[in-house]
Amino acid sequence: MTDHHPEDVPLVAPSADPEDRAVEAALRPKNLDDFVGQKRVRRQLSLVLEASRLRGRSADHVLLSGPPGLGKTTLAMIIAAEMNAPLRITSGPAIQHAGDLAAILSSLTEGEVLFLDEIHRMSRPAEEMLYMAMEDFRVDIIVGKGPGATAIPLELPPFTLVGATTRAGLLPGPLRDRFGFTGHLEFYSTEELELVLRRSAMLMDMKVSSASFAEIAGRSRGTPRIANRLLRRVRDWALVHGVDLIDARSASAALDMYEVDARGLDRLDRSVLTALITKFNGGPVGLSTLAIAVGEEPETVETVAEPYLVREGMLGRTPRGRIATAAAWKHLGLIMPATVAAAMPEDLFSVAPEDLMGSESALDSWARPDP
């Protein structure tokens, strides 16, 4: 097992490194009233929890889905706090056998909240055991092997399962249907991220101007985890340079030093777009070829850089390969050649970024090979 260093994680990666986890624990809100953003989910979840308290019963099982860094773990902790119940935390990859899950479930106390992160990565045998545990609060423990194996039923105390997933589509229907409430977390607006940053700066005893909050929020990719990480890097820059009050110019200088530009793109993002445009004339080009051109693994390009570039409408994923849109050329200060522009349909530029991910987007229909 290799040691993990914070520098192994890109500054604008939505995943958490050990430093993030330590700081997030101190910055996390403790109740729904303090939780910023996700108004729809907060309102619905508040109703679910209040109804459970009035009935004097454990809350329904909750499934939280959405990209990393938006607050799924924080909401799980808030659910436990609001229900005044203990919290048990585990993850799907840690449960590889049904026995692993049985050991956890059998040790739960009445009303306890079990948070299962990355629930889509749980093993199939454990998943099937979870069906019965969620619905009937019972599991069957298999003793012995072969024809002599016996199933011993084990009653479980009522508990609340909070599952979190970044890929809800990978969850089987029978598991999804057993959750009483499903909430999908959306990316944050710049205004919401400013509120997150103000709260974090107050907790970290930082003096930051309003313009600085807007500067940092605009580069945070709509993700609170990234916003807080950038805020800490700005704090470091201010400390080293002896700056007491962080203004917009200081924040901009700090983030420019870390190569995070005004749109939130970092070195890898710009490398992908630059290679796509300068080496392949805007594409289409295959993922593996593009990854080699930027000196990264295909998985890194696909999971770290592409989601945000697609969401910003700068990159398209098509059956023939990746292509750079007019927005990418413009962001890099380049002019798209008329021949490249002519090859793209006019309605491409009116397609919402989230629609570019679908298989029936304007990009896909344009790039689909002829039958």
Q: Domain spans of the chain?
A: 21-184, 190-258, 267-343
Mean pLDDT, range 125-132, rounded to an integer: 85
What CATH code would you report for 190-258?
A: 1.10.8.60
User: Does pLDDT of 194 surpass 90?
Assistant: yes
Q: What is the secondary structure of 228-241 as a DSSP string?
A: HHHHHHHHHHHHHT
Q: Residue 287 half-sphere exposure, CB side, CA atoms within 13 Å? A: 13
Of residues 9, 17, 183, 170, the one with CA closest to residue 92: 170
Q: List residues forming the annotated binding site for Mg(2+).
A: 73
What are the C-alpha distances in Å from 273 to residues 45, 317, 353? 40, 13, 16
User: Does pLDDT of 213 surpass 90?
Assistant: yes
Catalytic residues, by residue number, are 72-73, 117, 166, 225
Q: What are 28-80's pLDDT values in tens digits?
A: 888 888 898 889 999 999 999 999 888 888 888 999 998 888 989 999 999 99
What CATH code would you report for 267-343?
A: 1.10.10.10
Q: List residues forming the annotated binding site for DNA.
A: 317, 322
Go through 145-158 and write b for each residue having 16 or more CB atoms within 10 A of its CB, e for each that does not.
eeeeeeeeeeebee
Rounded to two decimals, what is the model's pTM?
0.78
With 0-12 / 13-18 / 19 or more C-beta atoms within 10 angstroms meaning exposed / middle / buried, residue 305 is buried
User: Does pLDDT of 346 surpass 60?
Assistant: no
- Amino acid identity at 16: A
What are the C-alpha distances in Å from 319 to residues 116, 212, 273? 35, 41, 18
- Amino acid identity at 194: E
Mean pLDDT, range 295-309, rounded to an integer: 88
Mean pLDDT, range 111-120, rounded to an integer: 91
H-only helix segments in 159-296: 173-176, 190-203, 210-217, 224-240, 248-257, 267-278, 287-294
Query: Residue 317: helix, strand or coil by DSSP?
Result: strand
Residue-level pLDDT at 6:
42
- Which of the two residues, 340 and 107, has the higher pLDDT score? 107
Query: How far from chain centre, in Å, is Cα 198?
Result: 21
21-184: CATH, from 3.40.50.300, 3.10.180.10, 3.30.1330.10, 3.40.50.2300: 3.40.50.300
Q: List residues forming the annotated binding site.
A: 27-28, 69, 72-74, 135-137, 178, 188, 225, 317, 322
For tokens 């072969």, the residue is 146
Query: How far from chain centre, in Å, is Cα 6?
Result: 18
Q: List residues forming the annotated binding site for ATP.
A: 27-28, 69, 72-74, 135-137, 178, 188, 225
Give the strand pairing for 207-208 and 113-117.
unpaired
pLDDT band at 125 (very low <50, low <70, confident <90, very high): confident
In this structure, what token pair is assigned to residue 241?
A: 């340079």
